[in-house]
Structure 1
Amino acid sequence: MNKVLAAAISAVVCAGIAPAQSQNSGCDGPVKAKTSRSGPCSELARKISEVLADPAVARAHWGIKVTAMDGAPIYSLNDGQLFQPASNTKMFTTATALALLGANTTFTTKVISRGTFSAPGKLTGDVVLVGAGDANLSGRVIPYVPPSMRPKVAPGQQPPPAPPALRYLKDMADQVAKTGLKVINGDIVGDDTLYPWEPYPSDWSIDDAVWGYGAPVSALVINDNQLQLTVAPGDAPGKPTNITIDPIAPYYTVDATALVTGPHGSGSHVQIERAMGSKVLRIYGSIAVDARPDEEEIAIHDPAEYAAAALKSMLEVRGILVTGVARAKHRISTDARGFFRASHEPILAMDWSKTYAPPQTSIACVSNCSSTAPAETVLAQHISPPLIEDMVVTNKVSQNLHAEMFLHNLGAAVLGDGSTVGGARVIRAFLTTRAGLDPDDFIFFDGSGLSGHDLVTPRATARLLQYAATQPWFADWKRTLPIGGEDGSLVERFGKAPLKDHVFAKTGTLSEARALSGYLDCASGKAVIFSVMVSAHSPATAADRIAMDKIVGLIAAAN
């Protein structure tokens, strides 16, 4: 499509006649045919048409919705059609979580004894680490600090080390040791039964399960359920490489028999595989002797089991004898309903104006306790940062696992069911009942957008953004969004005036789908809402992202 044809299409669209290949597109609102060719709206439509006529992006499917802050329509293109939202899904999840759980709610992880003390310091029974949905048992610095505000590192100097990844687990081990406990005639158990054991939502790619961004979902999270694996070259070609895993804990076995140090200038060609259910990491390929170390984030296969193993080691280091093993305690789902139907079930007699406190104890114990159950004593605990601070991290850096935990925590708090479908049901009910979204305009199978089954329309996304802007929690929620040229996933986009610091939006990228939606400060000084989505774009290219950013610039200039 050339520029002449693009201009002709935009003129027809603004006159109110949509061409067959661009249905439901053009200027919204009362634009008259006799003035449409010269008005600001028709000019915006013409310029957007020119951007999308570029052969590099013309074969992709595009959807756009732009409105005023009060929802008054400005421009649309395929805004009622469904797109893969990718990480735009996190906006729907976090808005619901902020509204229903509250900005200041916290989650308390506990270490408890289940058994009897036959003598001072001697337990007959298990020590259990009970997960409560805290996403930040890690070395992450909270609150989130934008890059521009982080300490500057002088040339040639190393940045200060990050806090230890297992610092809070170590703190709880210290608390246990201070109780005087010396012998545990039982196991160390990682209990994540607050959620059913559903580590991977529907349609998560099997390829993602190896990597940190696809870490399994659990109510007991340690270091984002991931380890940092570093492969450094040996001191000469053909020599073995140097492999380190941080944090160090007895869990994975590494098979690097097919990994070698390559010759100078040969680059890094390191591959990592792990069979489903296996705890063997197979690392193969080569890394040049002069290459920088290859650093990868590797998902932990069973986070509750890993947490138990790490805690057992820490207790033993502190002089506590453990006669049993480290093991996980999961709750296996017995819900045989289909996800689609179950997630669409209405929630009756719901008070959407109140906030809900998340359960602070194991659901398995609540449902299965009896008069003969072992006595429980709290030995240690850790209280999470406020929910809003984790939400900032989640949206700024697009943290998939944390978004999934928001979904599960919603199900646990509102329905007493921390399942994937329970959380999805709460989100759907909130969005349709409270936020006013058309129920046919979206379907979410997870909380992060990593599922390829997730679908949403640009107009539903714009409606969510408009609804949020009217809520008392809006200021808190808006500050979780990445800022153009400043932080999060937009730190390297919109880095120059007039858009720098004036785009507040959530990114989304999944295979050949991309999205960007949020708020935009425009040339007039007014703010608008926008959602730009693209699917089926050409792989291995950034042309669609470049076009998307151009469109945002055009919207800002025209309003």
Structure 2
Amino acid sequence: MRRSIFLSVILAFCTAFLFGCGAAEHSSNAVPQQPIAVIDAIPAVDLTKPLVVSTQPDDVELARSIEAIISDSAIRNARWGVFVASLKDGRVLIDRDAQMLFTPASTMKLITSAAGLDMLGPDFRWSTKLQTTSPPAAGRVSGNLYLYGQGSPDLNTAGLERLVDQVRRQGITTIGGGIVADASHFRGDLLGQGWSWEDLQWYYGAPASPLSFNSNFVTLNVTEGEAAVSPRTAPVRVTSEVEYGSGPNTIGVKRELSSDNIRVWGQGPAMSVRVAMADPAMHAASSLQELLRGRGVAVGEPMSVRAWSPFAEREAGNRDDVAAIEGQSLAEAVRGLNKNSVNLTAELVLRTLGREFGRPPEGGNNRRASVRGDDAAGAAVIKRWLAEKGASLQENETIADGSGLSRLNLITPETLGRTLIYASQMPTAGIYRDSLPIAGMDGTLRGRLTSVRGRILAKTGSIYLVNSLAGYALREDETLVFAIIVNNEPRRGDVNALIDQIASLLVTN
């Protein structure tokens, strides 16, 4: 299969939307970004008790109507899982294979973000530091200057400029060594378990480096046969064999799996796509070096990148900070994560949970836990959290990543629904609710569910053969939690239309 190698105009346009995960969406129509109703203020659902399917006539009729919508459609042969429950009294209105395992796509972010807010707290912030192995003296750092990242999802050029400002205020004019991009804060792989190789070159498959920078992607622009990346200072090598032509675009793009060498070929007038950086830490280091030199700080040796190792982890703890900044709060990060389905942020939250709560205590005898990556540790932390909160009832559910890009995730619709119920009871319930896209108004639901504008707050999900929607449906007299997951169906547009029809019925029936 060669989808990621050969890229037409249509595919280049659609990749920005196909997976429900990416940069913020914008609109020229200003609308109030609030739902027209609110979630029930006093939670009444006890997750320690079984949730019982309702026998109320209206609920039974709703279940029959939704079953008819599915069975009478051309999508009836796909796997459908539907779970709907009331926050008012806990009754289950719809249970269609809700205890079966499904691949959830980006609705997985509902679980990751809820666990993150509940365990780390909304005021948690990631730090980025400049460090040395010995204090600067007479305006000189004798050795290397280490750029140490702790997983901030919003580190950008402006953040590096703030670090450089702190360096210059201390009178530092010379770095005797080089810039070392220290990406050792997280153990384990920077890519999600079970991610398809075809996803890795695109922005939504960017590696979750603890030293992430400018969202870990560059924009590749092809104009009149010339190819270039933005920002131009990014350490990317582009080889272009594009012929300018006015006919249909047949332009192909390929980034090597383990390097930032990009090849572009074919024929067409223009194209613009976002390509993931294989080594975002090196991008951060090169940008820092350029900013330092632009402010009159001499750097003596070449740049380098340090990945995790036991030695690197120990050394980082013994260095001195010469500059430090904090990134956005977790509350702010979760808002972007869910509104715009940002995979990178979800993966950084997962690894942060693993590092903070999933590593065994020093001197512990859990050998396996002591060597696993922070992604695997984060998955174990979230599974434990789900069980403790009464959100998960099955041992065989599988969490492979934090974003839902992996096809190895297996979650039941009921677990998603129970997570939403617990999230409505958390101290951070308002922050969580406000992070969700609002039907017909913002985020990934800006152009969907316009007939029930403002009455559904929900997270979308979409990878190939998987489409999902889960969140809150705001009735006049109660709020429902719902999870709709469809697996094994390639007709994305048709599936989403049917999902939206079902979701709309929850508030209009």
> Aligned pair in 2 of structure 1 residues 174, 244: CA closer, same or farther (>3 Å)?
farther
Report the AA paired with residue 220 of structure 1: L
Partner of residue 355, structure 2: 412
Q: Secondary structure at the match of 2:503?
A: helix
Alpha-carbon distance, 1:115 to partner: 3.6
Partner of residue 214, structure 1: 205
Question: Superposed, which structure 2 residues align to 1:112-191 within 5 Å?
Answer: 112-115=131-134, 117=136, 120-138=138-156, 166-191=157-182
2:376 is aligned with 1:430: no
Q: Secondary structure at the match of 2:308?
A: coil
Question: Superposed, which structure 2 residues align to 1:191-210 within 5 Å?
Answer: 191-210=182-201
> Aligned pair in 2 of structure 1 residues 212, 416: CA closer, same or farther (>3 Å)?
same
Partner of residue 346, structure 2: 403
Alpha-carbon distance, 1:54 to partner: 3.8
> Is the 1:219–1:405 Cα contact (8 Å) retained in structure 2?
yes
> Is the 1:396–1:480 Cα contact (8 Å) retained in structure 2?
yes
> Is the 2:260–2:279 Cα contact (8 Å) retained in structure 1?
no
> Is the 1:214–1:299 Cα contact (8 Å) retained in structure 2?
yes
> Aligned pair in 2 of structure 1 residues 316, 457: CA closer, same or farther (>3 Å)?
same
Question: In structure 2, which of residues 55, 77, 81 is the aligned counterpart of residue 63 of structure 1?
Answer: 81
Alpha-carbon distance, 1:179 to partner: 2.0
Report the AA paired with residue 81 of structure 1: M
- In our comparison, the structure showing a higher alpha carbon Rg is 1
2:433 is aligned with 1:442: no
2:409 is aligned with 1:454: yes
Aligned-partner Cα distance in 2 for 1:461–1:364: 39
Aligned-partner Cα distance in 1 for 2:234–2:343: 25
Q: Secondary structure at the match of 1:464?
A: helix
Question: In structure 2, which of residues 498, 503, 507 is the aligned counterpart of residue 552 of structure 1?
Answer: 503
Q: Secondary structure at the match of 1:385?
A: strand
Aligned-partner Cα distance in 1 for 2:433–2:298: 49
Unaligned stretches of 5+ residues in structure 1? 1-26, 32-38, 139-165, 235-240, 335-361, 370-375
Instruction: Supply the RMSD in Å over aligned alpha carbons.
Output: 2.0
Question: In structure 2, which of residues 232, 244, 259 is the aligned counterpart of residue 278 of structure 1?
Answer: 259
2:353 is aligned with 1:389: no
Alpha-carbon distance, 1:378 to partner: 2.5
Query: Once the two structures are aligned, what percentage of the paired residues are identical?
Result: 29
Partner of residue 147, structure 1: none
2:55 is aligned with 1:30: yes
Unaligned stretches of 5+ residues in structure 2? 1-51, 361-372
Number of residue equivalences = 445
Question: In structure 2, which of residues 259, 280, 283 is the aligned counterpart of residue 306 of structure 1?
Answer: 283
2:201 is aligned with 1:248: no
Alpha-carbon distance, 1:477 to partner: 0.7
Alpha-carbon distance, 1:56 to partner: 2.3
> Is the 1:90–1:395 Cα contact (8 Å) retained in structure 2?
yes
Aligned-partner Cα distance in 1 for 2:425–2:202: 38
Report the AA paired with residue 309 of structure 1: S
Partner of residue 259, structure 1: 242
Alpha-carbon distance, 1:42 to partner: 3.5
Question: Superposed, which structure 2 residues align to 1:388-537 within 5 Å?
Answer: 388-416=331-359, 419-440=374-395, 442-496=397-451, 499-522=452-475, 524-537=476-489
Alpha-carbon distance, 1:123 to partner: 2.1
Could you give the per-residue CA deviations for residues 485-538 of structure 1, whole angstroms, max 9, x where no partner exists? 011110110112xx100101111111101110110012x43211111110001x
Question: Superposed, which structure 2 residues align to 1:70-89 within 5 Å?
Answer: 70-89=89-108
Segments of 4+ in structure 1 off by > 4 A?
none
Alpha-carbon distance, 1:363 to partner: 4.2
Q: Secondary structure at the match of 2:425?
A: coil
Could you give the per-residue CA deviations for residues 381-420 of structure 1, whole angstroms, max 9, x where no partner exists? 2111221011100000000010001111111222358711
Question: Superposed, which structure 2 residues align to 1:219-238 within 5 Å?
Answer: 219-232=210-223, 234=224
Alpha-carbon distance, 1:540 to partner: 4.4
Q: Secondary structure at the match of 1:81?
A: coil
> Is the 1:441–1:460 Cα contact (8 Å) retained in structure 2?
no
Alpha-carbon distance, 1:449 to partner: 0.6
Aligned-partner Cα distance in 2 for 1:197–1:445: 13
Alpha-carbon distance, 1:271 to partner: 1.7
Q: Secondary structure at the match of 2:106?
A: helix
Q: Secondary structure at the match of 2:328?
A: coil
> Is the 1:229–1:295 Cα contact (8 Å) retained in structure 2?
yes
> Is the 2:222–2:271 Cα contact (8 Å) retained in structure 1?
yes
Q: Secondary structure at the match of 2:470?
A: strand
Alpha-carbon distance, 1:426 to partner: 0.9
> Is the 2:391–2:415 Cα contact (8 Å) retained in structure 1?
no
Could you give the per-residue CA deviations for residues 182-231 of structure 1, whole angstroms, max 9, x where no partner exists? 22221201112110251112110101111110000111110111111222
> Is the 1:193–1:364 Cα contact (8 Å) retained in structure 2?
no
Aligned-partner Cα distance in 1 for 2:314–2:222: 41
